[in-house]
Amino acid sequence: MADQFPNLAGVLTRPIRWQFIERQYDEMIKNTVAMKYGDATAESILKRFSSVNATHPTYKALIELGKVEKTIFLCDYLSSVELQQETREALNVVENWNGTNDFIFYGRQGKFQTNDPLEMEVSMLCLHLLQNCLMLVNTILLERTIEQHAMVDTLTDRDRQALTPLFYGHINPYGLFELNLKKASFLEVT
């Protein structure tokens, strides 16, 4: 069918090899149950099927099962405008989150400059703390703005869905920070 759909030629290269899945079904179930009950981690199972061992029959079967899932999703996606919109909206949220992370984690182009797992963990924990602080401050700012402008009753459900605490235009990640300890904080209850 690849010649009938030239734009899908890369996807329609060959049929799914169902016999791989059928032969390795029991092994795939064992691995799944082991992960579900915490007897094995996904990482430890994937290490068994690393690129060195790409010929392992269970690995091949899992690859085929992944192709089945991908094919089902693509069929649903191509036939459903609602799913396309939902997917696009979810991707926009993720891109917004990643953009905010890039802004916060701006030093060294947002990349880890070490292979030390402890230093990487500390960096990630600091990033999560900054993310949470930013969202807390922004949530308070949104609530105050909505209250001050009496917008609670005018916001539609669509407007509420579009509200996000992931904005950072008001943040200065570098430069001078002037503190006026005599002025009341905007976070204080009024």
**What is the reported pTM?**
0.59
Domain boundaries, the chain: 6-79, 82-162
Q: What is the mean pLDDT of the chain?
A: 84
- The pLDDT score that the predictor gives to residue 51 is 59
What is the rounded CA–CA span in Å between residue 177 and residue 163?
A: 28
Judge whether residue 34 has pLDDT over 90: yes
Dist. CA 28–CA 57, nearest whole Å: 10
Mean per-residue pLDDT, 10-39: 90
Rg (CA), the chain: 25
